[in-house]
Structure 1
Amino acid sequence: MFNNERQVQIEWGDCDPADIVFYPRYFAYFDASTGALFEAMGVSLRYIRDVLKTVGFPMVDTRSQFFKPSKYGDKVTIKSEFTEVGRASFGIRHQLFNDGDLAVECTEKRVWACLNAEGDLKAKTIPDDIRAKMLSHG
């Protein structure tokens, strides 16, 4: 399935007083990595919202395991890939590597969503062309 890789430098504001990444910051990195995954496929959030008139892909489940801390100044690599693509939902795995070692692994389940006439958030079928890109080996 489609995958992407990006580099992140750990900033001072990402860290706690012990000089390691404060764990909620990892979820911000992974959320940005999900956006980067779609951008790498040529599907921007602006396109999803403005052209497709879709809200986006809210999170319905996320889980992480932490194996090795990352510290201020570290340059890490985040590898992201689709793990499953359903009718209206999809899974993503993010792996954060620090100095070649797996430091954090996160899985996400997201739902392709829109607002109905009443303004409620509802699942929507992933468009066929986007689903095809998600399933490709990009």
Structure 2
Amino acid sequence: MFVNRRNVQIQWGDCDPANIVYYPRYFAMFDDSTSILFEAAGFSKQDIVKKYGLVGIPMVDTRAKFYIASTHGDWIAIESRIEGFKRSSFEVTHKVFKGEALAIEAFETRVLVGHHPDDPGRLKSAPVPQEIIAKFMQG
């Protein structure tokens, strides 16, 4: 499986008054990590949208398990991978490490969407291209 790992330093603006990362900030980091994962595999989200006539790749489900808090100035590593594909959706996991310790496990489901062929004002799911599946599922 294709995995991308990136290091992130926690910034002042990521933290709440208790100086721990305010949880929605992690979800923004995970969103960035998914984009960076695709770019590392050779597929920028902008190129995918343009090449396949999509509107976007929205998140339709997300959750996380928090084990260890992070504070301003800490360095974390976010390891992202696609766990599997369905017809028009895929599952992403993000593991956040603080040093060697697992700090967070996060999960998201994303769907490729384009314009509905019968009504361009509506959206419709679109199949995941085989070249994308092949790239992410290779060893």
Q: Which moved more, 1:47-56 or 1:96-105?
A: 47-56
Identity of aligned residues (%): 47
Output the TM-score relative to the length of structure 2.
Answer: 0.94
* 1:56–1:133 Cα change, 3 Å: farther
Contact (CA 8 Å) 1:78, 1:95: kept in 2 or not? yes
Find the aligned partners of 1:55 and 1:22 in 2 and give their Cα distance: 30
Instruction: Kindly state the Cα deviation for residue 118 of structure 1 after the two structures are TM-superposed.
Output: 2.4
Question: In the alignment, does 2:100 pair up with 1:100?
Answer: yes
Instruction: Kindly state the Cα deviation for residue 3 of structure 1 after the two structures are TM-superposed.
Output: 1.3
Structure 1 vs Structure 2 CA RMSD? 1.1
> The residue matched to 1:129 in structure 2 has which SS?
helix
Residue matched to 1:43: 43
Unpaired runs of at least 5, structure 1: none
Question: In the alignment, does 2:109 pair up with 1:109?
Answer: yes
> The residue matched to 1:132 in structure 2 has which SS?
helix
Q: 1:116-135 counterparts in 2 under 5 A?
A: 116=116, 117-135=119-137
Amino acid paired to 1:133: K
> The residue matched to 2:55 in structure 1 has which SS?
coil
Find the aligned partners of 2:42 and 2:121 in 1 and give their Cα distance: 28
Find the aligned partners of 1:45 and 1:109 in 2 and give their Cα distance: 16
Find the aligned partners of 1:20 and 1:29 in 2 and give their Cα distance: 15
Amino acid paired to 2:135: K
Q: 1:1-138 counterparts in 2 under 5 A?
A: 1-116=1-116, 117-137=119-139
Amino acid paired to 1:96: V
Contact (CA 8 Å) 1:85, 1:134: kept in 2 or not? no
Find the aligned partners of 1:16 and 1:3 in 2 and give their Cα distance: 30
Deviations along 1:6-63, one digit per CA (max 9) or x if unpaired, are 1101000000011110000000000000001100110001201222221231111111
